[in-house]
A and B are shown apart, each in its own frame.
Chain A
Amino acid sequence: MKTEDLIATLAAEPAPPPAASLERRAGLGAVAGLAVTVVLFLAVLGPRANLGAALSDPVVLAKTLMPLLLALFAGALALRSARPAVPSGVPGRIVWLVPAAVGALFFWALGATEAGQRLVAFLGHSTQVCIPAITVLSLPILAGLIHAMRGGAPVHPARSGALAGLAAAGMAAAIYSLFCTEDSPLFYAVWYSVAIGVATGIGAVAGRRFLRW
């Protein structure tokens, strides 16, 4: 087919859906994934005892809020990355505040914890649950996000997938934190980050595979 004819054919096709639909699709995908994750969480783990009382401690609350903030920024970045040549903008600049704040929390806790207790708090008793649980809980959300982003046009599929993985892991970690009784930043700042890193890597691999177009 001559290029001229191709242009004529394409021009004759109906107009595309409105530009906002990518955000709507991503929202729906995230909510659908989140629903699966919440069901999974309630079925297997469930919230800790006295959740409300625990959350009144700001250090414990940070365990839930930090990943939630991360999910918010990473989600915005993932969406931006699904549109060609859209810069990362404000979320790209402020997303770094989350790891910075978590790092600060870690060092604050290092100072506030007695020397003999540091290693105990750092190792905790549940890394073998924490890391796989956050990773698994992130997968339904990741699937929903990736599915939605296929409607976009990510020109860096692995990066977009990683951002989706980061957003999904943030939500998963926030949910998992409602179960987790390890309240020292010496534990959660490290092991949650490890789990989020694993989920982000899975996102990158999934992006490379499913976000190509």
Chain B
Amino acid sequence: MTDRSDRWGALLGRANRGEAVAYAAFLQDVTPVIRTIVRGRSSSEFENEDIVQEVLLAIHAKRHTWREGDPVAPWLYAIARYKTADAFRRRKGAVQVPIDDLAERLADEAPGDPTAARDLGRLLEGIDERSAGIVRAVGVEGESAGEVGARMGMSEGAVRVAYHRALTRLKKMAGSKE
């Protein structure tokens, strides 16, 4: 346990000084631990990996709050617990409709409505990479949600929902620019 915290400390210290290799090793090393923490709070496997990624992003954004010499493990667990609780709370507070019920209706979403906008490329830069990738694949390249899901490790329904949300955001952005 302490060994692990020491190893993480050494890696994160080097990472914060700009060593990308050490940082990648650190993130890879902690990911299974985060996965366990997320799984411990989750009642289904559904979206767990999304939350793991949210925790990784949080660790990334807040890695400067760890001071060299402090034990890494408690720091990491505190962030993971906070972010996991936060993620589950938000998902609970959000629309409670099971994605698969929604998927049938979302399929009607005409692809290419805001995607026809001339400055789609610019709009896509304004949303996160993952959503932009889904919009490109489904809306522009015309891949099916199932294909995209298989490639990205998401369920078909999750891809449709992500696509729908991304389109809503893009519409909003396109609207605010005009």
Contact = CB atoms under 8 A, between A and B. Distances in A.
Task: Note whether A and B form a binding pair.
Answer: yes
Contacts of B15: 11, 15
B150 to A, nearest CB: 12
Contacts of A13: 60
Contacts of A196: none
Nearest to B49: A3
B147 to A, nearest CB: 15
Interface residues of B, number: 41
Contacts of B16: 15-16, 19
A18 B75 CA distance: 17
Given A7-B56, A10-B57, A17 B64 contact: yes
Interface string B67-111: 110110011011101100010000000000000000000000000
A84 B64 contact: no
Nearest to A19: B67
Nearest to A15: B18
Contacts of B75: 83-86
B118 interface: no
Nearest to A22: B65
Given A10-B23, A85-B74, A85-B77, A21 B56 contact: no
Contacts of B152: 1-2
Given A1-B152, A153-B62, A19 B68 contact: yes
A82 B65 contact: yes
12 contacts: A2-B152, A9-B129, A16-B64, A19-B64, A19-B68, A82-B65, A83-B65, A84-B65, A152-B62, A153-B58, A155-B81, A212-B86
For the complex of A and B, the 6 pairs showing the least CB-CB separation, nearest first, are A84-B78, A11-B24, A85-B74, A15-B18, A153-B62, A16-B64
